[in-house]
Structure 1
Amino acid sequence: MKVTQAYRYALDPTAEQAAALASHCGAARFAFNWGLALIKAALDRREAEKTHGVPEVPEESPAEVPWSLYSLRREWNTAKDRVAPWWADNSKEAYNTGLDGVARALKNWSASRKGTRKGAKVGFPRFKSKHRAAPSCRFTTGAIRVEADRHHVRLPRLGAIRTAESTRKLARHLERGTGRILAATVRFEGGRWFVSFTCEIDRADRAPAKPDAVVGVDLGVKDLAVLSTGEVIPNPGHHRAASRKLRKLNKELARRQGPRTPDGGRREASARWAKTKKALGKAHARVAGRRRDGLHKLTSRLAATYGTVVVEDLNVSGMLANHSLARAVADVGMAEARRQLTYKTTWSGGRLIVADRWFPSSKTCSGCGAVKTKLALSERVYACTRCGLVAGRDHNAALNLAALAADVAQSCGETLNARGGAVRPGARAGRAPAKREPRKRGTLRREPEAV
């Protein structure tokens, strides 16, 4: 099967190449801000015309506001000699990156305002700051390849750049003809340059080691995951472990002279402030990297071992709104674990079942199916008053999740999701589905069960 896959490598550029990479990313930021300023000026002009009784034109009229990428490119090619006489120092892909970002941001803002875009409401795009925006640039045309020595990559106008690790996995696909590079994105984060190749890969069909096995995965805060098999994966708490160092660096950064004055003005940051800022970025990048590595190892093992993996549709954004729980939830990476399982189960030939958000996995007895009306978070052991079952709270929830695979098999193999599936939440062979009281108009919807 053909999939779109990314390969990410750390770079070891020379001083000249690092300066060229920074120049390309700066050019992308300049093009983004230039395009956004052009749009804002056109919108302000339209608002002024409305006050004078000028008839309103269609919102996405190319003659009035260049919403599309092609219109922005045309405007840029007309004005680049005047606004950026140094434009020839960088690849045209750098400016295309910034203009494409403006076009996408405006499209999302317009669709969100009209109500045609799902998800949270998107605001009007803001200008990118040199001190806050992560330097990034995307290449889609030109010489983009992996060198034969498997320790260098070649990018347009930048030449061959050495990588900190071997590129053999991607190189083998390119040599066999089972892979094709679509684009390359360079990004600076955590004090290092990275390149990500977006590729079209022809993956061989695989099967899990246990194609008929089912595992329920209960993600939590105390433990990273509890499986229905009884295995408990402890939560390493990378951010908590590094909190002392991060706190020290934040205090040190606050004592330095930063780019902003107490009254909100701008000034030149001190060298020590820049040094501490760089150290703080490296510390955060190390925490994120260790968390990402642990999640990849867990999800890869689950997808390669079990034919069916069942997880919950957790309201992670709602959990993050709880300030006393937000830091612990963010340190786990629940949404990232589900995202990785979504594509890894497909690659491994398995399937992922996502239980409905309102499925009472922790309140339901895995033995007899009785559902408790209330279960405090402090109760870490589930004790059933009907059948006398005593089990760990998270293990009981994982068993209930694993039992949902039978319900999906009985409903023509459809997968449960957050917007409702073929199986009612709590339905089980020989068990009545869990009932919910109807919600009255004007009342608040109850939040999903916390982990």
Structure 2
Amino acid sequence: MKAYKTEIRLSPRQVDKLARTIGVCRFLYNAFISHNQDLYEKEATFCGGMDFDKHVNHVLSVEHPWIKEVSSKARKKAIMNADNAFKRFFKGQSKFPRFKKKKDQDVKAYFPKNNKTDLVVERHRIKVPTLGWVSLKEKGYIPAGSEVSSCTVEQKAGRFYISILVKSDATEPKPNLSSEGIGIDVGLKSFAVTSDGKVFKNINKSRRIKNLEKKLKREQRSLSRKYDYYQKIKKMKKKENPGETENQWKNLNQNIRRLQKLHVRLANMRDAYQDYVIRESVKTKPSFITLESLNVKGMMKNRHLSKAVADQKFYQFKIKLKSKCLKLGIELREVGHFYPSSKLCSSCGEQKISLSLSERVFHCSSCGHTMDRDENAAINLKNAKEYTILT
């Protein structure tokens, strides 16, 4: 299976249909959590996804007839997603499921292939169940005539995206790899430094990102002031100018939309930069790539560095690099938390007793070897003998 994700253009009728579908899916997800909470308090038991689906068909849909106005498969997928969230909680893999909020926009509409005429792909459009023909923004990105099994449609900051799964029988030939490998040391001063001398700067220190973050901060303060003002209106129960209140709520929704667009833009810029770093790292076709396992949870406890660590998205970088290595047949290695990559001399192997964060140049007192601290760590990662193979 191969996944594609691209932006789509919807007509006003399709936007309305999709908004109602996502709204029903969010309602059923929250209703499943609330129903299990009440059931546990009364009978100390939990309800499964299939049983709750029957409850929706016989009880909830009678109380709320608008539930059956959307796709039944999308409704059932939302219930099973909530059921999987509970199963992960019981296994200790995640926290207790939380209610979905409308402003978070993290609910997707799932559409499977029910008929042969569903999910037909052409160069400039795709036929989605219940929505009909949908225009693709990137024409030709999805191969025409592909056999699609299912799709999900989501909304983010006023834009709509479709993710599809395509059955692919053809296997791409893997490139001939070199005999040499590389080590990648990630950090905060520079995002990544490779053992072959490539240095990738921290994009979060660039002027474009800083200007967007300043704008984001101003919008957040503006939204906070609007919320405080509306809370005062509710307490005072002023209803003298209802038209003015509607305009105020309209301003608040516009402010929320501006915030969402800024968050999406920042996330896209950081994701695109990580993709660039991965492409440049695998360009030489190394036989293996070695990373260091970072204690990100412990690093986040430092309130002075927590935001900088979160913006780097180290875990997402590892997941993307792992996917790329699987595609190209590169062996991805990972060393443990306590491997002294920064304290070892890459020339003679002597370990330094103490090395503060302010020392950006590594100097070996034994052999006199001097080089950049991060590049020295990357070379040590490349030469590591004990590691875990991820791919």
TM range (shorter): 0.7 to 0.9
- Check the 8 A contact 1:218/1:225 in 2, yes or no: yes
Letter in 1 for 2:152: T
More helix by share: 2
Q: What are the superposed Cα offsets for residues 115-155 of structure 1, whole Å, 9 maximum, x if unpaired? A: xx4xxx522x233232345342122343542432x221221
TM-score, normalised on structure 2?
Answer: 0.88
Show the counterpart of 1:327. Answer: 307
Change (3 A) 1:81 1:263: same
TM-score, normalised on structure 1?
Answer: 0.77
Letter in 1 for 2:168: I
Q: How does 1:323-402 map to 2 (within 5 A)?
A: 323-402=303-382
Show the counterpart of 1:442. Answer: none
Q: How does 1:399-418 map to 2 (within 5 A)?
A: 399-404=379-384, 407=385, 415-416=387-388
- Check the 8 A contact 1:93/1:141 in 2, yes or no: no
Q: What are the superposed Cα offsets for residues 193-237 of structure 1, whole Å, 9 maximum, x if unpaired? A: 111113443452433454322111111111111110111111221
Q: Distance in 2 between matches of 1:37 and 1:374?
A: 53
* Match 1:163 to one of 131, 136, 141: 136
Q: Distance in 1 between matches of 2:277 and 2:163?
A: 22
In the TM superposition, what is the alpha-carbon distance from 1:264 to its structure 2 partner? 10
Show the counterpart of 1:440. Answer: none
- Check the 8 A contact 1:9/1:165 in 2, yes or no: yes
Is 2:124 the counterpart of 1:151? yes
- Check the 8 A contact 1:145/1:154 in 2, yes or no: yes
Change (3 A) 1:20 1:257: same
Show the counterpart of 1:294. Answer: 273
3-state DSSP of counterpart to 1:188: strand
How many residue pairs get aligned? The number is 375
Show the counterpart of 2:186. Answer: 219
3-state DSSP of counterpart to 1:102: helix
Q: How does 1:108-257 map to 2 (within 5 A)?
A: 108-112=88-92, 117=93, 122-123=95-96, 125-142=97-114, 144-148=118-122, 150-166=123-139, 168-171=140-143, 174-175=145-146, 180-202=147-169, 204-208=171-175, 210-237=177-204, 239-257=209-227
Is 2:261 the counterpart of 1:282? yes
Q: Distance in 2 between matches of 1:359 and 1:202?
A: 41
3-state DSSP of counterpart to 1:225: strand
- Check the 8 A contact 2:61/2:68 in 1, yes or no: no
3-state DSSP of counterpart to 1:218: strand
Change (3 A) 1:200 1:302: farther
Q: Distance in 2 between matches of 1:17 and 1:258?
A: 35
Show the counterpart of 1:270. Answer: 249
Q: How does 1:4-15 map to 2 (within 5 A)?
A: 4-15=1-12
Range that drifts further, 26-35 or 359-368: 26-35
In the TM superposition, what is the alpha-carbon distance from 1:276 to its structure 2 partner? 1.1
Q: Distance in 2 between matches of 1:13 and 1:387?
A: 66
Change (3 A) 1:264 1:29: farther
Q: What are the superposed Cα offsets for residues 344-370 of structure 1, whole Å, 9 maximum, x if unpaired? A: 111112110111121110011101111
Q: Distance in 1 between matches of 2:120 and 2:209?
A: 35
3-state DSSP of counterpart to 2:6: strand
Q: CA RMSD in A?
A: 2.6
Q: Distance in 1 between matches of 2:228 and 2:250?
A: 9
Q: How does 1:34-49 map to 2 (within 5 A)?
A: 34-47=31-44
3-state DSSP of counterpart to 2:36: helix
In the TM superposition, what is the alpha-carbon distance from 1:241 to its structure 2 partner? 4.2
Q: What are the superposed Cα offsets for residues 340-399 of structure 1, whole Å, 9 maximum, x if unpaired? A: 111211111211011112111001110111111211000000000011000100000000
Which 5+ residue runs of structure 1 have no aligned equivalent? 48-58, 60-64, 409-414, 419-451
Change (3 A) 1:229 1:324: same
Show the counterpart of 1:447. Answer: none
Change (3 A) 1:39 1:87: same
Q: Distance in 2 between matches of 1:308 and 1:130?
A: 44
In the TM superposition, what is the alpha-carbon distance from 1:29 to its structure 2 partner? 0.9
Range that drifts further, 213-222 or 267-276: 267-276
* Match 2:47 to one of 49, 66, 79: 66
3-state DSSP of counterpart to 1:129: coil
Q: Distance in 1 between matches of 2:35 and 2:51?
A: 11
In the TM superposition, what is the alpha-carbon distance from 1:299 to its structure 2 partner? 1.4
3-state DSSP of counterpart to 1:196: strand
In the TM superposition, what is the alpha-carbon distance from 1:261 to its structure 2 partner? 2.4
- Check the 8 A contact 1:206/1:349 in 2, yes or no: no
In the TM superposition, what is the alpha-carbon distance from 1:80 to its structure 2 partner? 4.2
Q: What are the superposed Cα offsets for residues 148-185 of structure 1, whole Å, 9 maximum, x if unpaired? A: 2x22122111111112112x34325x55xxxx433211
- Check the 8 A contact 1:208/1:303 in 2, yes or no: no
Change (3 A) 1:377 1:38: same
Q: What are the superposed Cα offsets for residues 409-450 of structure 1, whole Å, 9 maximum, x if unpaired? A: xxxxxx5269xxxxxxxxxxxxxxxxxxxxxxxxxxxxxxxx
- Check the 8 A contact 2:100/2:106 in 1, yes or no: no
Q: Distance in 2 between matches of 1:260 and 1:90?
A: 34
Change (3 A) 1:259 1:111: farther
Q: What are the superposed Cα offsets for residues 67-109 of structure 1, whole Å, 9 maximum, x if unpaired? A: 2x22222222222431321233211122113211221121122
* Match 1:32 to one of 5, 29, 34: 29
In the TM superposition, what is the alpha-carbon distance from 1:339 to its structure 2 partner? 0.5
